[in-house]
Structure 1
Amino acid sequence: MEIKPLKIGDLVAKIPVIQGGMGVGISLSRLAGAVALEGGVGIISTAQIGFQSPDFDKNPIAANLKAIGEEIKKAKEIAKGGIIGVNIMVATKDYEEYVKAAVKAGVDLIISGAGLPTTLPKLIEGSRTKIAPIVSSLKSADVICKIWDRKYKKSPDMVVIEGAKAGGHLGFTVEEIEQFDESEYDKEIEKIISLVNQYGEKYNKQIPVVVAGGVFDQKDLMHYLELGASGVQIASRFVATYECDADEKYKQAYINAKKEDVVIVKSPVGLPGRAINNPFLERLKEGPIKVSSCRKCLSHCNPATIPYCITQALINAAKGDIDHGLLFCGENVYRINKMVHVKDILDEFR
């Protein structure tokens, strides 16, 4: 099967690969810009994006909103006309302000999950920004498409289907993750693609569907193209690149990870997630780690009752303090064994 460019409305990526958003501080302007420059779609994670700002502890949301504009601007300068998007979690505190900041900065694409982005069409009105919900089931795809259709007379510009092999927070129960059957899930993917195509016909446009979660090489891309998808989203592989924004120790942890090091953890907000086992996760088995301050990251988080602060754990990891940090990863992280350039990865998908 021929590999074709990924078309998202009037946006065209020569290579049908989206680099997944990784927070905190793992996919910022340097990585996203490099991916877009090489013909893929570069994605900046807005999760606590302003963590390096001197004002972050005092006013985290203001620091984040400022950093969104700065990182998009820097990424676009690197990308030289390539596609730059952001990943904004619906669960983010002040979600709507983050979306508005990205639109104001002229972002090409907003990918949004960790909840259903029911208000997203309203927030991008009057802009050229494209919008794409992340879904994990036919049910969630149906709900979001119906809401956007009914309330805003709009369809998604793209849909991202994220399976249970993805890194970070997952839209599945622990039981579903443990019993995940890839061939069975392929049927779900086909059903979602069929649903999306119906809305494409209604709105007289092509709506690409991109598959994420456990995607590693061209073989995976070809598999999903045969199911009817238009491309794939890859995150973990881009961590071990020279262009990735993460600390070198973080990258090395990915390279050193073995299959048995990959574990399912429970996030402070109750969602399961996939990460590399390390001293931090071992320490958590002994009991909660006291939260000293709140950085206002997630809307449904109570610092008094959570087992640890996910913001602090992710910031520690991003800065290279990996023994005290949370290292989110995809299931196939153990297959990564060396540092490469972004171009090396994308060349495999041309």
Structure 2
Amino acid sequence: MEKELWIGKRRVEKPVLQGGMGVGISLGNLAGSVAANGGVGIISAAQIGFREPDFDTNTEEANVRAMHSEYAKARKLAPEGVIGFNIMVAMRHYEHYVKEAVQAGADLIVSGAGLPMDLPAIAGKAKTALAPIVSSERSARLILKYWEKKYQRLPDLVVIEGPQAGGHLGFSPEQLAEYVQEKKKNFDEEVTRIITTVKEFAQKAKMSIPVALAGGIDSREAACHAFALGADAIQVATRFVTTEECDADIRYKQAYIQAKETDIVITKSPVGMPGRAILNPFLKKVQNGEQIPHSKCHGCLKNCKPSEIPYCITDALIHAAKGETDQALLFCGANAWKAKKIQTVREVMEEMLGDEL
């Protein structure tokens, strides 16, 4: 079965979008490797410059330099591949990072953690494809209608992120309880509604808007189910963490391999957003109400108030990327505990797609 996927004017050989994982988990090596194997490689812009010597004193510019260097690294690995950035709406300096991604030559910008209502204005007339992340039909319709009316354009791709995804989640704690813990609702119904809405706008505009489904897609069976629902592609993140090519420290990868199903928990980030992570000594301290001392503010999230937070998410995620796992926030997807070994990107993609795609 052939499944042709176009994002903007770029043809994608295999319908796999690698999810953006910050801080420092999906950088140039992972993104370039996925793109070189026919998928879409995504670099996370979130505090991407954490290894730059002036990160503590000049965070914004350190991040910008790292965006360009990591993109160049990915492009060297995949000269003809499709490579983009994940840039969260919730980030401070969001507009600056979007413009730098365009300037770097990104094929695609994926944007969530908030509604990217004005992304077309920020990206301007660049050829970079734009992809909002949505978790409900309501948010999808809102973005499509707004972009169509105000900017006379529609997304080049829509990413649907379900409740089994990792990191920050686009659901309230109550919704997560319904979808995941109590299993009272089937997210498939919402996926169908979103895809129907996207097709409605696409048909009216006489264009194609592919849809990628994300969240808990960790096997060929899950991938086939996503395609059966009408998705044109799958977004995969957690499975790529335990690959040789992933930019994270080996100890971060081992934390996934060692995790049990009961270790995967829903937590609250310092700015109140729910997220999914591995229960470890750091998270136990947070759950017990301990205040974790933090470094000088690095200006990561717009709504963060350093004097009021229980811990610094930048500090915690940098610890994760460096492999200091007992002091880290270990973001992960719902099925991270299923990882049993380190594989290559090619092996993961072959397992996900089989011989049919």
TM-score normalised by length of structure 1: 0.98
CA drift at 1:5: 3.1
In the alignment, the residues of structure 2 paired with residue 155 and residue 314 of structure 1 have an alpha-carbon distance, to the nearest angstrom, of 33
In the alignment, the residues of structure 2 paired with residue 87 and residue 182 of structure 1 have an alpha-carbon distance, to the nearest angstrom, of 31
The residue aligned with 1:304 is: 307
In the alignment, the residues of structure 2 paired with residue 177 and residue 147 of structure 1 have an alpha-carbon distance, to the nearest angstrom, of 27
Q: Structure 1 runs of 4+ off > 2 angstroms?
A: 181-184
Letter in 2 for 1:268: P
Alignment of 1:79-98 (within 5 A): 79-98=78-97
CA drift at 1:13: 1.4
In the alignment, the residues of structure 1 paired with residue 335 and residue 264 of structure 2 have an alpha-carbon distance, to the nearest angstrom, of 9
Contact 1:291 1:304 in 2 (8 A): no
Contact 2:295 2:315 in 1 (8 A): no
Helix, strand or coil for the counterpart of 1:85? strand
Q: Which runs of 5+ in 1 are unaligned?
A: none
Q: Which runs of 5+ in 2 are unaligned?
A: none
Alignment of 1:104-115 (within 5 A): 104-115=103-114
Letter in 1 for 2:262: E
In the alignment, the residues of structure 2 paired with residue 300 and residue 264 of structure 1 have an alpha-carbon distance, to the nearest angstrom, of 20
1:283 pairs with 2:285: yes
Share of identical aligned residues, percent?
A: 53
User: Deviations along 1:250-295, whole A, 9 cap, x unmatched?
Assistant: 0100111110110111000101100000010112214221333100
The residue aligned with 1:238 is: 240
In the alignment, the residues of structure 2 paired with residue 171 and residue 34 of structure 1 have an alpha-carbon distance, to the nearest angstrom, of 28
Contact 1:265 1:274 in 2 (8 A): yes
In the alignment, the residues of structure 1 paired with residue 192 and residue 295 of structure 2 have an alpha-carbon distance, to the nearest angstrom, of 46
Helix, strand or coil for the counterpart of 2:223? helix
CA drift at 1:183: 6.3
User: Deviations along 1:90-140, whole A, 9 cap, x unmatched?
Assistant: 000010000000000000000000000011111222211000000000111
Give the stretch that moved more between structures: 124-133 or 319-328.
Answer: 124-133
Helix, strand or coil for the counterpart of 2:163? coil
Matched positions, count:
349
The residue aligned with 1:325 is: 328
User: Deviations along 1:228-254, whole A, 9 cap, x unmatched?
Assistant: 110110100100000000001001001
Alignment of 1:1-350 (within 5 A): 2-180=1-179, 181=183, 184-284=186-286, 285-348=288-351, 349=353, 350=357
- Change in CA separation of 1:120 and 1:289 when aligned onto 2, cut-off 3 Å: same
CA drift at 1:3: 4.7
- Change in CA separation of 1:124 and 1:182 when aligned onto 2, cut-off 3 Å: farther
Contact 1:34 1:42 in 2 (8 A): yes
CA drift at 1:9: 2.5
- Change in CA separation of 1:101 and 1:182 when aligned onto 2, cut-off 3 Å: farther
In the alignment, the residues of structure 2 paired with residue 328 and residue 168 of structure 1 have an alpha-carbon distance, to the nearest angstrom, of 5
Give the stretch that moved more between structures: 206-215 or 277-286.
Answer: 277-286
Contact 1:86 1:102 in 2 (8 A): yes
Give the stretch that moved more between structures: 122-131 or 155-164.
Answer: 122-131
Helix, strand or coil for the counterpart of 1:243? coil
Helix, strand or coil for the counterpart of 1:295? coil
Helix, strand or coil for the counterpart of 1:269? coil
In the alignment, the residues of structure 2 paired with residue 308 and residue 41 of structure 1 have an alpha-carbon distance, to the nearest angstrom, of 33
TM-score normalised by length of structure 2: 0.96
In the alignment, the residues of structure 2 paired with residue 250 and residue 291 of structure 1 have an alpha-carbon distance, to the nearest angstrom, of 21
In the alignment, the residues of structure 1 paired with residue 153 and residue 204 of structure 2 have an alpha-carbon distance, to the nearest angstrom, of 10
CA drift at 1:227: 1.3
Helix, strand or coil for the counterpart of 2:186? helix
CA drift at 1:182: 8.4
In the alignment, the residues of structure 2 paired with residue 184 and residue 257 of structure 1 have an alpha-carbon distance, to the nearest angstrom, of 26
Letter in 2 for 1:158: L
Letter in 2 for 1:191: R
Contact 1:9 1:206 in 2 (8 A): no
In the alignment, the residues of structure 2 paired with residue 182 and residue 195 of structure 1 have an alpha-carbon distance, to the nearest angstrom, of 24
Give the stretch that moved more between structures: 125-134 or 30-39.
Answer: 125-134
Contact 1:121 1:152 in 2 (8 A): yes
